[in-house]
Structure 1
Amino acid sequence: MGNAFRLNAAVAVDLVVLTLGARNAPNDTLCALLVQRLYAPYRGRWALPGGFVQTDESLSTAAVRLLREETGIRADRMHLEQLATYGEPGRDPRGRVISTSYLALVPNLPAPTAGGDATAAAIWSAEQILADPGRLAFDHHRILADGVERARAEFEHTPLATAFCGREFTVAELRRVYEVVWGTAIDPRNFHRKVTSTAGFVEATGRTSTRDGGRPAQLYRAGPATALRPPMMRPQAA
C-alpha cells in the first residue's frame, strides 16, 4: 500500500500569460510572456514562466509565486485558470516531471522584470514564437499553442474581448480585438449584427466617435453578460 503513494515524479506549474501588444510589438499583436532560462537544462533558451511546486504549496499558490519571482508581475488580482496537465515521459531531461499549466488573459500587462532563475523576461509575439517550434524549452511550444487555442475559444463563449477595449469603444475597435486574437479577418457587417443582437454583450452609450474614420460611429460599453448566447464563432468554425 505504501508503494502506491511513493513520489515518482516532480510536480511543476507553467504559465501562459497572453496580452495584446508590448514594447516590441504593436497593439494589434497577440503576445505571450516569456523568460530566458538561467540554468540547465536549456540554459539561455526562452520558456514560459514556471517551475517546481514546493511541498507546502497548492498549485495555484505556486503559480502566483513563480510568476512574481521570475517576471516581477503580481498575479494576486489576475484570473488564472487551469489549462491542462502535461506528464509525458521525457518532457524534462532531469527526470519525470508532471506540470499543470495556467492561462491568464491580461489587458495592459506590466513590463516584466527578470528575477529568480530567469536572466531576462519579455513579452513576445505569440505568432512569431509559435512559427518556430524549436524556440522554446521543454514542451512549452505545445503548451503555448494550447493556451492560444483556449484563449480563442474563450473569446467565442465569453465577453472577455471587451476588457481589451477602452471604457467606451466602437464595434470596429471590438472587432479588431477579435481579429488579433483569432488571427483572421472578420466580416464587419456580420460582426456588427452579432455583437449588437447578443443579449448583454454590449450596451449603447448614446454617444458617437469619429476616431475610426469616416462617419460617426456609435460608442458602446461592456454589458452585464458573463457568457455569450449564442456564441461568437470564429469564421472558420461557423
Structure 2
Amino acid sequence: MLVGDKEEIMVLEQQYIGDEVYKGKVKDLARKYSSLRRTRPDGNCFFRSFGFALLESLYHNKSNYESFRIIAEKSKDKLLELGFQKFTLEDFHDQFMEVVNLIGKPDTTEETLFEVFNNKDYSDYVVVYLRLIASGQLQQDADFYQNFIEGNRTVFEFCRQEVEPMFKESDHIHIIALSTALDVGVRVRYMDRGDSTEAIAHDFPEDKAPQIHLLYRPGHYDILYPL
C-alpha cells in the first residue's frame, strides 16, 4: 500500500517496546491526536502524505476547496513563467487536476480518494507535480532559500538534485516551499530522541493555522488526525 488505513495512535507503542523515551512521546501524541495514517517509506512520504492529507481535509471542508482549486489550476502557468518545459509539465498538471477535481464531485467518497492514492499511476503523478510546485517556489524566491542550502550548490542545482527527482527525502526547506506555494498550513510533530517529553510541533508557515498534521520520525512522514 502507498497510503494505509487509519490506525489508533497507540499502535505506535508496539514499535518501541522497552524504549521509554519513544513510549512517552507516543503517549503525548495520544493526548492530542486520535489516529494516524501511514504512508510507504520510499522517499516520497512527505509529498504523498501532504497530498492525501490536504485533499482529505478539503473533502471534509468544502469551503476551502474552490480557493485551493484555483491555486492548483493556476500553478501550471506560474511554473511555465519560471522556465519549466511545457511538454513535461502539462501531463503531470492534467493528472493532478483530475485528482483535485474529484474532491468537487458529489459522488466522490473518502474511499474514492483512498483508492486513487493507492493507484500508483495517479499517486505518483500527484507526488511529481507537488515536487515541481515546491521546486518552482524555491526558484521564485531563490535569494531567500539560498541561505538554507548547504555546500556550494545554487537553488536551481538543489531543486534538480534534491526536490524534483522521485524518492528523494524531504526536509524543512521542502515543507516551507510547498506550504507557501499552495497557501496551506502544516503542523509537523517531530518524534525523535530529543530531551523533550513531547513530540515537538513546528508550523509551516509559522503564521498560518495548520490545515494538515504530519508526524515525522527520522527519515519518514505519516499523517496525523487531531482529537
Please confirm whether the aligned pair reaches a TM-score higher than 0.5, indicating the same fold: no
Q: Normalized per residue, which structure has more helix?
A: 2
TM-score range (shorter-chain normalised) is under 0.3
- The structure carrying a bigger strand percent of its residues is 1
After TM superposition, the score normalised by the length of structure 1 is: 0.23
TM-score, normalised to structure 2, is 0.24
Larger RCO, structures 1/2 (Cα 8 Å, 6+ apart): 2
